[in-house]
Amino acid sequence: MKDSYYHKGLRKKLVATIRAKGIEEEKVLQAIESIPRHFFLDNAFAELAYEDRALPIGKGQTISQPYTVAFQTELLGIQKGDKVLEIGTGSGYQACVLAALGAKVYTVERQESLYLKTQRLLEKMDVPHIRMYLDDGHLGLTQKAPFDKILVTAAAEKMPETLKEQLTIGGVLVVPVGMDTQQMYRLVRLSESDFYAQVYGDFQFVRFERGVKREK
């Protein structure tokens, strides 16, 4: 794994692209600029790492488009020290963006092979403040709840109520909801029972599946 001036140059261009698409938060743009996205991809796709597009990461899953990563991160409004739950570890790229912003990241993946592969990568990269779990994200992460921020990186058919309950008061949940295309929901927990919602469209994520998928 090597990060060169060539890659850094490509990242600067990528940041200019997503800035032009409407991402304004400087901290988020800096995080995208600092993380070598090509580390999270197989060699076959490394050349495309700094295009603003989703790419395959195996097992029918994708690393989200950088614009989408930035958009979701911006909606979360990460503050240093926030306790953040990510559902859908995938390549680990989004988790690293959150960690770069100073979050304490708890991330859950349901596919064992992706979980193991990403665990090895994050160990090699020596990224601090990310804890990984192999589990069904529909359950949230009860043993570590509540969270200041919760992010779902797969398409939920309907609003995941269990995750809402694992937010602190004042906490924020960002989740794409819908079947073929998704609307991005940003929910703020105002009290035990009250939530304030904002909706943004349209996005396309892989499905938020049920259950853990272990290798045989």
Q: Which residues are catalytic?
A: 64
# binding residues, ligand SAH (CB under 6 A): 23
Residue placing its CB nearer to ligand SAH in the complex, 188 or 206? 206
Site for ligand SAH in 150-169 (CB under 6 A): 153-154
Residue placing its CB nearer to ligand SAH in the complex, 25 or 112? 112
**Contact region with ligand SAH (CB under 6 A), list: 5-13, 141-149, 157-165, 203-211:** 203-211
Q: Is the peptide bond before 160 cis (omega within 30 degrees of 0)?
A: no
Site for ligand SAH in 40-79 (CB under 6 A): 61-64
3-state SS assignment for residue 158: coil
Site for ligand SAH in 87-126 (CB under 6 A): 87-88, 90-91, 93-94, 108-111, 114
Contact residues toward ligand SAH (CB under 6 A) are 61-64, 87-88, 90-91, 93-94, 108-111, 114, 136-138, 153-154, 206, 208-209
